[in-house]
Protein backbone atom coordinates (compact mmCIF):
# COMPACT_ATOMS: atom_id res chain seq x y z
CA UNK A 1 0.00 0.00 0.00
CA UNK A 2 1.31 3.45 -0.97
CA UNK A 3 0.28 6.91 0.15
CA UNK A 4 2.45 8.76 -2.40
CA UNK A 5 0.84 11.04 -5.02
CA UNK A 6 -0.74 8.54 -7.40
CA UNK A 7 -0.71 9.94 -10.93
CA UNK A 8 2.68 10.89 -12.25
CA UNK A 9 2.01 10.86 -15.99
CA UNK A 10 -1.47 10.53 -17.44
CA UNK A 11 -4.97 9.62 -16.33
CA UNK A 12 -6.80 7.71 -19.05
CA UNK A 13 -10.55 7.13 -18.61
CA UNK A 14 -12.71 4.59 -20.41
CA UNK A 15 -16.20 5.72 -21.40
CA UNK A 16 -19.12 3.55 -22.51
CA UNK A 17 -17.79 0.52 -20.65
CA UNK A 18 -20.91 -0.01 -18.54
CA UNK A 19 -22.58 -3.00 -20.23
CA UNK A 20 -26.10 -1.86 -19.31
CA UNK A 21 -25.53 1.58 -20.86
CA UNK A 22 -23.73 0.13 -23.89
CA UNK A 23 -26.55 -2.31 -24.63
CA UNK A 24 -29.24 0.34 -24.13
CA UNK A 25 -27.55 2.58 -26.72
CA UNK A 26 -27.48 0.03 -29.55
CA UNK A 27 -30.39 1.67 -31.40
CA UNK A 28 -28.75 5.09 -31.01
CA UNK A 29 -25.44 3.71 -32.30
CA UNK A 30 -27.20 2.59 -35.49
CA UNK A 31 -28.13 6.20 -36.31
CA UNK A 32 -26.02 9.18 -37.40
CA UNK A 33 -23.47 10.32 -36.41
CA UNK A 34 -22.36 6.95 -34.99
CA UNK A 35 -23.59 4.54 -37.70
CA UNK A 36 -22.31 1.62 -35.66
CA UNK A 37 -21.32 0.71 -32.11
CA UNK A 38 -17.70 1.45 -31.09
CA UNK A 39 -15.35 -1.42 -31.90
CA UNK A 40 -12.55 -0.16 -29.65
CA UNK A 41 -12.56 1.33 -26.11
CA UNK A 42 -13.81 4.91 -26.04
CA UNK A 43 -11.09 6.87 -24.23
CA UNK A 44 -10.71 10.35 -22.82
CA UNK A 45 -8.05 12.04 -20.71
CA UNK A 46 -8.33 13.94 -17.46
CA UNK A 47 -5.41 16.42 -17.71
CA UNK A 48 -3.25 17.63 -14.84
CA UNK A 49 -5.52 20.55 -13.93
CA UNK A 50 -8.31 18.07 -13.09
CA UNK A 51 -6.31 15.98 -10.62
CA UNK A 52 -7.28 16.15 -6.97
CA UNK A 53 -7.16 13.91 -3.90
CA UNK A 54 -9.17 12.13 -1.26
CA UNK A 55 -10.84 14.60 1.11
CA UNK A 56 -10.54 17.53 -1.28
CA UNK A 57 -13.25 20.04 -2.14
CA UNK A 58 -14.13 19.85 -5.84
CA UNK A 59 -14.76 23.20 -7.52
CA UNK A 60 -18.27 23.77 -8.84
CA UNK A 61 -18.02 24.16 -12.61
CA UNK A 62 -18.17 27.52 -14.34
CA UNK A 63 -19.69 27.69 -17.83
CA UNK A 64 -19.08 30.88 -19.81
CA UNK A 65 -18.42 32.75 -16.58
CA UNK A 66 -21.48 31.53 -14.69
CA UNK A 67 -22.00 28.58 -12.33
CA UNK A 68 -23.09 25.42 -14.16
CA UNK A 69 -26.73 24.43 -13.75
CA UNK A 70 -25.85 20.81 -13.08
CA UNK A 71 -22.92 18.49 -12.52
CA UNK A 72 -22.78 14.71 -12.31
CA UNK A 73 -20.36 12.23 -10.77
CA UNK A 74 -19.25 8.69 -11.43
CA UNK A 75 -16.64 6.50 -9.75
CA UNK A 76 -14.33 3.93 -11.29
CA UNK A 77 -11.81 1.33 -10.26
CA UNK A 78 -8.42 2.76 -11.22
CA UNK A 79 -5.42 0.72 -12.39
CA UNK A 80 -2.05 2.17 -11.33
CA UNK A 81 0.98 1.06 -13.33
CA UNK A 82 4.24 0.09 -11.64
CA UNK A 83 6.37 -0.42 -14.73
CA UNK A 84 6.42 0.48 -18.41
CA UNK A 85 3.69 -1.31 -20.33
CA UNK A 86 3.86 -1.40 -24.13
CA UNK A 87 2.14 -3.83 -26.49
CA UNK A 88 1.48 -6.51 -23.93
CA UNK A 89 -0.85 -9.49 -24.21
CA UNK A 90 -4.03 -9.82 -22.18
CA UNK A 91 -2.48 -12.81 -20.38
CA UNK A 92 0.47 -10.77 -19.09
CA UNK A 93 -1.31 -7.42 -18.66
CA UNK A 94 -1.82 -7.58 -14.89
CA UNK A 95 1.92 -8.15 -14.36
CA UNK A 96 2.45 -4.44 -15.05
CA UNK A 97 0.03 -3.23 -12.39
CA UNK A 98 1.31 -1.80 -9.10
CA UNK A 99 -2.15 -1.80 -7.54
CA UNK A 100 -5.64 -0.35 -7.61
CA UNK A 101 -7.43 2.70 -6.27
CA UNK A 102 -10.54 4.80 -7.02
CA UNK A 103 -11.21 7.80 -9.26
CA UNK A 104 -14.13 10.22 -9.07
CA UNK A 105 -15.02 11.95 -12.33
CA UNK A 106 -17.07 15.10 -11.74
CA UNK A 107 -18.28 16.57 -15.02
CA UNK A 108 -20.99 18.40 -16.87
CA UNK A 109 -23.88 16.31 -18.19
CA UNK A 110 -22.66 14.49 -21.31
CA UNK A 111 -24.91 14.87 -24.34
CA UNK A 112 -23.29 12.28 -26.63
CA UNK A 113 -20.15 10.19 -27.04
CA UNK A 114 -19.32 10.87 -30.69
CA UNK A 115 -16.71 13.53 -29.93
CA UNK A 116 -14.75 14.09 -26.70
CA UNK A 117 -16.49 16.54 -24.35
CA UNK A 118 -13.49 18.78 -23.62
CA UNK A 119 -15.51 21.44 -21.78
CA UNK A 120 -17.36 18.94 -19.62
CA UNK A 121 -14.42 16.67 -18.78
CA UNK A 122 -11.50 19.07 -18.22
CA UNK A 123 -12.89 21.02 -15.25
CA UNK A 124 -10.39 22.06 -12.59
CA UNK A 125 -10.12 19.61 -9.62
CA UNK A 126 -12.75 17.33 -11.20
CA UNK A 127 -10.79 14.05 -10.97
CA UNK A 128 -9.97 13.17 -7.36
CA UNK A 129 -7.86 10.05 -7.05
CA UNK A 130 -7.63 7.77 -4.03
CA UNK A 131 -4.61 8.01 -1.76
CA UNK A 132 -4.03 4.28 -1.32
CA UNK A 133 -2.77 1.91 -4.03
CA UNK A 134 -3.74 -1.61 -3.03
CA UNK A 135 -2.75 -4.99 -4.48
CA UNK A 136 -5.76 -7.09 -5.53
CA UNK A 137 -5.68 -10.71 -6.67
CA UNK A 138 -8.73 -10.47 -8.93
CA UNK A 139 -9.89 -6.98 -9.95
CA UNK A 140 -12.83 -8.49 -11.84
CA UNK A 141 -14.34 -9.54 -8.49
CA UNK A 142 -14.57 -5.95 -7.18
CA UNK A 143 -17.63 -3.68 -6.97
CA UNK A 144 -17.48 0.12 -6.74
CA UNK A 145 -20.26 1.62 -4.59
CA UNK A 146 -20.95 5.38 -4.62
CA UNK A 147 -23.10 7.38 -2.18
CA UNK A 148 -24.17 11.03 -2.24
CA UNK A 149 -24.96 12.46 1.18
CA UNK A 150 -25.16 8.92 2.56
CA UNK A 151 -27.55 7.54 -0.05
CA UNK A 152 -26.24 4.88 -2.44
CA UNK A 153 -26.59 6.10 -6.03
CA UNK A 154 -24.51 3.57 -7.99
CA UNK A 155 -23.10 0.07 -7.65
CA UNK A 156 -20.75 -0.94 -10.46
CA UNK A 157 -19.41 -4.52 -10.50
CA UNK A 158 -16.19 -4.65 -12.53
CA UNK A 159 -17.35 -8.04 -13.84
CA UNK A 160 -20.23 -6.29 -15.65
CA UNK A 161 -18.03 -3.96 -17.70
CA UNK A 162 -17.99 -4.50 -21.46
CA UNK A 163 -14.20 -4.89 -21.43
CA UNK A 164 -12.38 -6.25 -18.41
CA UNK A 165 -9.25 -4.91 -16.78
CA UNK A 166 -6.71 -7.15 -18.51
CA UNK A 167 -8.30 -6.65 -21.94
CA UNK A 168 -8.27 -2.86 -21.50
CA UNK A 169 -4.63 -2.80 -20.41
CA UNK A 170 -3.61 -4.88 -23.41
CA UNK A 171 -5.64 -2.84 -25.91
CA UNK A 172 -4.54 0.54 -24.57
CA UNK A 173 -0.90 -0.59 -24.43
CA UNK A 174 -1.05 -0.98 -28.22
CA UNK A 175 -2.38 2.59 -28.54
CA UNK A 176 0.11 4.25 -26.19
CA UNK A 177 2.98 3.25 -23.91
CA UNK A 178 1.87 3.28 -20.28
CA UNK A 179 4.51 4.49 -17.84
CA UNK A 180 4.94 3.94 -14.08
CA UNK A 181 2.48 6.26 -12.35
CA UNK A 182 0.01 6.27 -15.24
CA UNK A 183 -3.57 5.41 -14.34
CA UNK A 184 -6.50 3.89 -16.23
CA UNK A 185 -10.03 4.42 -14.88
CA UNK A 186 -11.61 1.29 -16.32
CA UNK A 187 -15.31 2.15 -16.31
CA UNK A 188 -17.88 4.50 -14.83
CA UNK A 189 -21.63 3.89 -14.37
CA UNK A 190 -23.64 4.82 -17.44
CA UNK A 191 -26.16 6.70 -15.32
CA UNK A 192 -24.00 9.16 -13.46
CA UNK A 193 -25.44 10.68 -10.31
CA UNK A 194 -26.50 14.34 -10.25
CA UNK A 195 -24.85 16.44 -7.56
CA UNK A 196 -25.37 19.89 -6.09
CA UNK A 197 -23.09 22.40 -4.34
CA UNK A 198 -22.19 21.17 -0.87
CA UNK A 199 -22.93 17.50 -1.60
CA UNK A 200 -20.66 14.89 -0.04
CA UNK A 201 -19.65 12.04 -2.36
CA UNK A 202 -18.28 8.78 -0.96
CA UNK A 203 -17.11 5.80 -3.01
CA UNK A 204 -15.71 2.56 -1.72
CA UNK A 205 -14.56 -0.91 -2.66
CA UNK A 206 -15.31 -2.90 0.47
CA UNK A 207 -12.14 -4.03 2.19
CA UNK A 208 -9.91 -2.33 -0.41
CA UNK A 209 -10.14 1.45 -0.41
CA UNK A 210 -12.45 4.48 -0.32
CA UNK A 211 -12.62 8.03 -1.68
CA UNK A 212 -14.39 11.08 -0.22
CA UNK A 213 -15.03 14.50 -1.75
CA UNK A 214 -17.27 17.52 -1.22
CA UNK A 215 -18.68 19.83 -3.91
CA UNK A 216 -17.76 23.48 -3.52
CA UNK A 217 -20.48 25.99 -2.81
> What is residue 123's three-state secondary structure?
coil
Q: Report pLDDT digits (tens) over 102-136.
A: 999 999 997 777 677 888 999 999 999 999 999 99
Residue 73 contacts residue 148 (beta carbons within 8 Å): yes
pTM: 0.93
Which residues, 6 or more positions from 138, have their beta carbon under 8 angstroms from its beta carbon?
Answer: none
| Spatial distance between the Cα atoms of 70 and 197, rounded to a whole number of angstroms | 9
For the chain, the maximum distance between any two Cα atoms, rounded to a whole number of angstroms, is: 49
| Spatial distance between the Cα atoms of 21 and 24, rounded to a whole number of angstroms | 5
Q: Report pLDDT digits (tens) over 89-107.
A: 999 999 999 999 999 999 9
Peptide bond into 33 cis (omega under 30): yes
| DSSP H stretches of helix in 32-189 | 118-121, 165-175
Amino acid sequence: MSKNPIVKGKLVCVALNDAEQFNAMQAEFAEAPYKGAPQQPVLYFKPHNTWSTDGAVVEWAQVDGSPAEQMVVGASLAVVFGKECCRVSEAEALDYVEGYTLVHDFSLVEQNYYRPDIKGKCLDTSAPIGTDVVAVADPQALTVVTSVNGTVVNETPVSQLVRGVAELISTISYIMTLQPGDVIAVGFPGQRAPVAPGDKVHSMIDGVTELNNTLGQ
